[in-house]
Structure 1
């Protein structure tokens, strides 16, 4: 499920440049200098079991590289030993001279995942929730089966010759065939976290839709969006989910994302400090349970190394991360390493918890293997630890942020 959760990719071939041009003559808004990393994949995590399939990554240019940024796409087609299917395609496409940015996030999951309730103080183990203002309910590990169809597409227009972009997006999430289950007997009249929340706010228990549009402002100043070495990136996205577009209830949210890359060596650009700040807030109305801000549900599933996807959830979310990246060889960029630390906090009025009342830390180390130095396509392997025994191994394409 989570692209970055307990994943192990096995590279069967070194022919990662399936399509390429040695000396391309660049045309406006045509796919050129296309390179594909075909990664047959084997993956594992406790929620999904063993996963088998392909996880391709592609890069290309839509114009001259001297004035056009690198476009990229990461995909997944996986089947699991728990009879789950996971399909996804996530892309950032820069048109000629960076005149437009097209951002896509398409997914279809037939899958399962544990949920732990709302807020930052939820326990690992299943137990009665003593803090909920909802009907008597549980928190801690509660397994859920569900299907997710997601279609997100955003178009951003460059403002003059600057690195600022403004644009609109359409975002559709349909959760269906939702089912909670446990291997233990439940106390009569006590409910799962998901059901207690949705019943209290008038949402369906087994299917709901969130359909809305976003107004977006972006500052894209990174030297490379795949694996940046320097400069910065910022996003402000205000989302409105009206009922006339298909949402079960009207709501609005605000997403803030800022990333900064501080180069520590002019001779070795791979030697750097990367910083990330991320916030997701419910501004008005109500969201269905699975659409609430949650750890690991950012576009590429990279928040919260040290915890499982969905481990923490609430109406409001704050997240930050710092990562030190460095080369491991004196005269080669093939191998690199990282050390990192992150922190998250969630607020929920239903559990009387405010943002920053509880903070969950994560930390870990990682190895990087650069399989295409020209485009900086990288395989990343990380092991991270969280609080109260949470931990995980993550193997991915490209840097975490």
Structure 2
């Protein structure tokens, strides 16, 4: 279900802003700028046909020997259902990696199915046996979504550790729940039931908060790492005086490790990812609860559609084996992966790990810039109960 067929006509532009033989580096000087515009045509059941561009850019803000590669991925898509999907996500390292700026900006006029809370939700819509009068399974939602996330991190001395703060804003508006025409039952939608129980507005939801962040950035290249690791701890406070519907707090944990399996071909590696998102206090609107595929770049949960599982608490893990497909070149590569997710919900009384939803799949890689490791990735994932999907992205999944 929700299979996506995507056709891309792509080309790339490699145009360094500064001469390659420059040997004097000024602070925060832009170097090695590369832009990859990707005209995109796509189709899926939720959006119909999509048309637009999906550009990706990489550059350095200082001496390449001491400054990580910065990157930005954008989307500007319009659909035959009169929807707009506009986003910009960035990870910018200033000179000598002294500061990191992390941005996630979105404006969506869109729709998406939701299935209720927990890991046990079925595919097809039906009445929830544990909550009579409430829908369980696929329910369609139209909504507008504005997101503005910006985090500033300061390096601690010359270490790999950073501390910082961020401002995170999500606004969900014009929320409309509906079912397919052939469904005749009149039951309460999962979104409405949850928000009514928590005393949250049904038409517009706002989550506005400050994050306290600790990061270890030890990857050799953030966009497509070959080795070492990355860790993030983010505690978010969403007070009412900043505009949130209700006060709440959340904890996000993210750890990634990369194990080279060959010293001569570092593209031959094992990558592992663990991710947890937990509601610590208060209440979040239904749409803002932890959900599959809602990490920053939307890469978690291959094998399931975005938003397929949702709950107050979430734990996710993934392992991926990456390998080159050519003996002496790095252009083509492949991958096989497995993942698993579990969701808990106090409202449905389902505990974390009571049910685990696994996924697995394989993928193909085309490295279009070896220096910056810019890669086109195409994956097909399989989940349980007939769930599956095709995923086409820029760079590795994590």
Query: Please, what TM-score do these two structures have when normalized by structure 2?
Result: 0.97
* Equivalent-residue separation in structure 2 for 1:300 and 1:313 (angstroms): 17
- Where 1:194 maps in the other structure, the secondary structure is helix
CA gap 1:379/1:12 in 2 versus in 1, 3 angstroms = closer
2:67 aligned partner: 68
* Equivalent-residue separation in structure 2 for 1:108 and 1:376 (angstroms): 29
Kept after mapping to 1: 8 A contact 2:169/2:209: yes
1:187 aligned partner: 185
* Equivalent-residue separation in structure 1 for 2:112 and 2:352 (angstroms): 24
How far apart are 1:205 and its partner, in Å?
1.0
Query: How many residue pairs were aligned?
Result: 394
Kept after mapping to 1: 8 A contact 2:16/2:31: no
* Structure 1 residues not aligned, in runs of 5+: none
Kept after mapping to 1: 8 A contact 2:302/2:382: yes
1:389 aligned partner: 386
1:158-307 equivalent positions in 2, closer than 5 A? 158-182=155-179, 183-188=181-186, 190-307=187-304
How far apart are 1:7 and its partner, in Å?
6.3
How far apart are 1:22 and its partner, in Å?
3.0
* Equivalent-residue separation in structure 1 for 2:183 and 2:323 (angstroms): 51
Kept after mapping to 1: 8 A contact 2:270/2:321: yes
CA gap 1:309/1:61 in 2 versus in 1, 3 angstroms = same
1:126 aligned partner: 125
Kept after mapping to 2: 8 A contact 1:24/1:33: no
2:9 aligned partner: 11
Q: Is 1:59 the counterpart of 2:58 in the alignment?
A: yes
* Equivalent-residue separation in structure 2 for 1:187 and 1:247 (angstroms): 34
1:94 aligned partner: 93
Kept after mapping to 2: 8 A contact 1:104/1:152: yes
* Equivalent-residue separation in structure 2 for 1:57 and 1:314 (angstroms): 32
* Equivalent-residue separation in structure 2 for 1:352 and 1:151 (angstroms): 32
Kept after mapping to 2: 8 A contact 1:41/1:55: yes
- Where 1:388 maps in the other structure, the secondary structure is coil
Query: Please, what TM-score do these two structures have when normalized by structure 1?
Result: 0.96
Kept after mapping to 2: 8 A contact 1:6/1:395: no
How far apart are 1:49 and its partner, in Å?
1.7
- Where 1:389 maps in the other structure, the secondary structure is coil
How far apart are 1:255 and its partner, in Å?
0.2
How far apart are 1:185 and its partner, in Å?
4.4
Selected match of 2:21 from 23, 28, 44: 23
Kept after mapping to 2: 8 A contact 1:195/1:205: yes
- Where 1:30 maps in the other structure, the secondary structure is coil
Deviations 1:195-227 (A, max 9, x none): 111111111111110000000000000000000
* Equivalent-residue separation in structure 2 for 1:116 and 1:36 (angstroms): 38
Q: Is 1:154 the counterpart of 2:151 in the alignment?
A: yes
- Where 1:91 maps in the other structure, the secondary structure is strand
* Structure 2 residues not aligned, in runs of 5+: none
1:41 aligned partner: 40
How far apart are 1:57 and its partner, in Å?
0.2
2:31 aligned partner: 32
Q: Is 1:336 the counterpart of 2:333 in the alignment?
A: yes
Kept after mapping to 1: 8 A contact 2:10/2:38: yes
1:353-372 equivalent positions in 2, closer than 5 A? 353-372=350-369
Kept after mapping to 2: 8 A contact 1:231/1:260: yes
- Where 2:82 maps in the other structure, the secondary structure is coil
Kept after mapping to 1: 8 A contact 2:43/2:50: yes
* Equivalent-residue separation in structure 2 for 1:273 and 1:317 (angstroms): 24
1:324 aligned partner: 321
How far apart are 1:130 and its partner, in Å?
1.0
Alignment RMSD: 1.4
Deviations 1:316-359 (A, max 9, x none): 00000000000000000000000000000000111110000000
* Equivalent-residue separation in structure 2 for 1:235 and 1:7 (angstroms): 33
Kept after mapping to 2: 8 A contact 1:9/1:40: no
1:103 aligned partner: 102
* Equivalent-residue separation in structure 1 for 2:59 and 2:7 (angstroms): 22
